[in-house]
Structure 1
């Protein structure tokens, strides 16, 4: 679903739409990846890691394996949000490089989550490659590797920022770890319990809130607001409210693609049915199904037997969940747009920024 022509015209008529320094940099092919490599290399200098060359090599390998193989969407969002929120006179080469460092840390954070998610879900592939934890020289070391990856993010922040700014950034990244960890706990709890009475809309919404919403758009916005000294409780609350709608849209699509595409948009092989995940499709199946269909669901869901997997997919089709998904996506998108249009022009974040980030997110899906 794309922005309406009216919204596009409105954006194009403003200076914000025109090519910015951040967008120009991002269009230069491997610019982001080369910056990321430099940020990681510099972040490891004079650390305990630097005393073990083999470990430095491993961190660089992890960075290349998990971070440079995908579109750095959240990193791009962070840069664009920074430039749109910052006063023009404050946007310098030095300030942009600081924003780039945060964008790189944002992408490393995403990689950390992906490594952990693949381990916990028993995934076999990501972005068309074998998952990190399945590589011959990794295996059980994957958990230690993920811990090292998280520490690398901390070192990068510590070496490049100081004072109250460093404290704010560190607190924000720590909040991200906590939020996603809660989401992962709920996700795993519901899928391993085999108690399908837990597959409710309320429980699903909680999974989305913690596991997806926080870093889909809200985290890039928060980081940009901190960098531009525009972070306050009212702005954070506004960002959280609107980003919740986007998080719902994203997770619904992720659930849908996991089932009806050979490899989901996340780049991970789809195994939600086999793992018994509490997904939007599963919740709606139990809500809409007849007693007989619910019995079919509870009998076959959470099984790796391909016949059972096919039965669940056919059940979703029989319940017309594809049409329901498309309708709910339209409704949620409309609600989001109405909330954005109702914002005052001087709101922080601005209506233009929300529209721009949503457009980027849609283009990256």
Structure 2
């Protein structure tokens, strides 16, 4: 997907937006969206390819799925900008966060809102009704889910009660914060463009893909521990910010009393020696081994959910297995060199 896509579509917007968007949106897209691996955008394209009838594979439909794929990537850009401001993050994807750039600062909030508005403009100018109405509703539902997830994330971060750091709470947090936009939204958009969306299809996607989205977040959290300087993630700050991240929750479920006391004293502190002590605690309980075991249990559970789907379900069992296999290649790689 080329950044020229943005410039080409900006010219179709109303005069009110044209001047600002022509200057600002490509800059943000180049800095944020094009700096990371477009996992969600590629998943949108992959899902469409797997679902579409061959008669739908014309130039117009291919352009429309590109619009939706870029919409998903821009949604992540919108979310990342706000998330980085709230976490006071310094870098993402190996570059300074957008709000850290000279002359940007808290104007990044407006820039994020601009990106959100631009997503709507892209849909309005490239997708016809009634499909446009459906996909816009899915985007709106995703914004709502993200806001709930952010509220939960901030509340847990501010809490000093580590009894709330449970797998049940972690799953609920990331059902809203991660699962919807990382996996469910791309598939729901592809279903809509193929005119296959329905309440039943939505239920099947929600049932199978929520766990897969949570697993992707688990992998991201573990990468924060494996390589805090990886260019694929933002500056490691989960420990300092007292995040309800997967390694922290897993440690609290697998540590002894002495380790728990050390964790509670050090977690959420910014002093380098305390941060390092938490990382050593992760190593002591062999967090990578625990992750692998948890990962396998989740995949087994998802396969069981797929088996329980109706024979003629939409999406089909084969479709979900394809999605599972594509994303498993991603979640299995927790090496420091992943980019």
TM-score, normalized by length of structure 2?
A: 0.91
Q: 2:118 aligns with which of 152, 158, 172?
A: 152
Establish whether residue 56 from structure 1 lines up as the match of residue 25 from structure 2: no
CA distance in 2, matches of 1:265, 1:34: 21
Mapped partners of 2:327, 2:229: distance in 1: 19
Q: Deviations over 1:279-330 (max 9, x none)?
A: 1221222223222222111110001101001111111222232221111112
Q: Deviations over 1:153-176 (max 9, x none)?
A: 111111223432221111110001
Q: How many residues align?
A: 331
* Contact 1:39–1:104 under 8 Å retained in 2: no
Matched-pair contact (CA < 8 Å) for 1:124–1:131: yes
* Shift in Å, 1:353: 2.2
The alpha carbon displacement at 1:179 in A equals: 0.4
Describe the shift of the 1:265–1:174 C-alpha distance in structure 2 as closer, same or farther (beyond 3 A): farther
Q: Could you tell me how far apart the structure 1 residues matched to 2:168 and 2:231 are?
A: 25
SS state at 1:138 partner: coil
Cα deviation, 1:222-278, whole Å, max 9, x if unaligned, reads 001111111111111111111022122212111111112123575212110110001
Unaligned stretches of 5+ in structure 1? 1-31
Partner Cα separation in structure 2 for residue 254 and residue 293 of structure 1: 24
Q: Counterparts of 1:313-328 in structure 2 under 5 Å? A: 313-328=279-294
Partner of 1:37: 6
C-alpha deviation, 1:338, in angstroms = 3.3
Paired position in structure 2 for 1:299: 265
Which consecutive residues of structure 2, in runs of 5 or more, have no partner in the other structure? 332-339
Alignment partner of 1:123: what SS? coil
Q: What secondary structure does 2:240 align onto?
A: helix
Distance 2:168 2:325 in 1: 28
| TM-score w.r.t. length of structure 1 | 0.85
Task: Determine if the alignment matches structure 1 residue 257 to structure 2 residue 223.
Answer: yes
Q: Does 1:204 align with 2:170?
A: yes
Q: Which deviates more from structure 2 when the two are superposed, residues 256-265 or residues 161-170?
A: 256-265
Going from structure 1 to structure 2, the CA distance change for 1:265 and 1:339 (only over 3 Å counts) comes to farther
Q: 1:99 maps to which residue?
A: 65
1:147 and 1:92, CA in 2 relative to 1: closer, same or farther beyond 3 A?
same
- Following superposition, the deviation at residue 47 of structure 1 comes to 4.0
Please give the alpha-carbon distance, in whole angstroms, between the structure 1 residues aligned to 2:140 and 2:203: 18
- Cross-structure match for 1:108: 74
SS of the counterpart of 1:273? Answer: coil
Q: Does 1:165 align with 2:164?
A: no
Matches within 5 A, 1:58-207: 58-207=24-173
Residue 192 to residue 39, structure 1, CA distance change in 2 (3 Å): farther
**Matched position secondary structure for 2:107:** helix
